[in-house]
Amino acid sequence: MEWFRIQRDIPFMRYALVFNVISLVTFLIAVGSLAVRGLNLGVDFTGGTVMEVAYREAADLSRIREAMARLGFGDASVQNFGTSRDVLVRLPVKQGVTSAKLSEIVLQELKKSDPAVEMRRVEFVGPQVGRELLENGALALLFVSLGIVGYLALRFEWKFGLATIVANLHDVVIIVGFFSVFQWEFSLPVLAAVLAILGYSVNESVVVFDRVREIFRNRRTRNWPVPQVLDHAITATMSRPIITHGSTQLMVLSLLIFGGETLYYFALALTIGILFGIYSSVLVASPIVMYLGVSREDLARPEPEKKAGEGGAVV
């Protein structure tokens, strides 16, 4: 399906070096921030107490955050859970205070502003569980990356697999780097968004590389240089990412605006990933393939020679 077709190829590869420098600088900033500042890990990873409280009327989240700050939990996570009257409060581990005692202290503080508030449930997430979740998430990221490399190496050629995984890991590091630079809370939903982007962005690279293979195998374009092949492949497939990424971003944007605090960082991570996924497929993966020296012989099967006495063209 195409909404439009660009008649002249856009010379992406002519400016590949400039965009690669921009990507490298952005990547180094993200890595540097991760090394120096690290991530603002949520209770899911660090451990802590999760409490669900219920109000008779719509809860005032800002007032609840102020109450948590008075108790010494300025970094507490407060968000609606299900309805505007139900609130989920996540507090980090506090030495010397049990979850039962902590829930009593929180409930007493909340009742100062609304005596009708009720405590629905209290759960404790141990630091060991949080570490296991983080380790399992990292392993999932590793296995997904290896699977992508193997799939593309079998479907196309190892150079395409290497270029795609570099581009996808570029997206992952950039997303995580944003959360490190701005110290946004990194939670399990954000990790799920990162894994989703890793699988989502590879789709665009597959489409572009599939068109590259078609061009290499076409006799009429057999003498085209590699930059021209890549420019034509990207330009010819531009309508598709505009439709798919645009439709996806509309859905994610609705989550970002109307999903509330529960889904905010999840949708934010997806938004960053979608934007950089388009960028990396065009201006990271394709130049890497070019730098690796991909050629027609890597993808096009050699044509059989005509036997003596046979006429007609070989198909």
Query: What's the CA gap between 89 and 118, in Å, rounded?
Result: 13
Asked if 19 contacts 167 with a C-beta cutoff of 8 angstroms, the reply is no
Tell me which residue of 108, 298, 91, 94 sits closest to 212, measured CA to CA: 298
3-state secondary structure of 55: coil
C-alpha separations of 90 from 55, 185, 214, 298 in Å: 17, 12, 53, 54
Per-residue model confidence as pLDDT tens digits over 297-306? 766 555 554 4
Note the pLDDT of residue 303: 52
List phi, psi (to 5°) of 35: -75, -35
- Residue 181 has a pLDDT of 92
Amino acid at position 285, single letter = A
Please check whether residue 190 is in contact with residue 224, taking contact to mean a CB–CB distance below 8 angstroms. no
What letter would DSSP give residue 219?
G
- Rounded to an integer, the average pLDDT of 277-288 is 83
Strand, coil or helix: 93: coil
Query: What's the pLDDT tens digit per position in 222-259?
Result: 678 888 888 888 888 887 777 887 888 898 999 888 87
Cβ neighbours of residue 158 closer than 8 Å, sequence gap 6 or more: none
Single out the residue of 256, 280, 289 nearest to residue 184, CA to CA. 256
d(CA 129, CA 65): 26
pTM of the model: 0.74
Residues of the chain with pLDDT > 70, as a percent, come to: 89
Which structural domains are found in the chain, ordered by start? 12-39+129-299 (1.20.1640.10), 48-125 (3.30.70.3400)
pLDDT of residue 128: 64
Greatest Cα pair distance, the chain, in angstroms, is: 100
Q: What is the pLDDT of residue 315?
A: 40
How does residue 268 score in pLDDT terms, banded at 50, 70 and 90? very high
pLDDT tens string 7-40 = 788 888 888 888 889 889 999 999 999 999 888 8
Least confident of 62-71, 95-104, 146-155, 306-315: 306-315
Q: Sign of the CA dihedral 143, 145, 149, 154? A: positive
- Residue 35's pLDDT is 92
Between 24 and 260, the more confident residue is 24
pLDDT at 218 over 90: no
Q: Tell me what the pLDDT averaged over the chain comes to.
A: 80
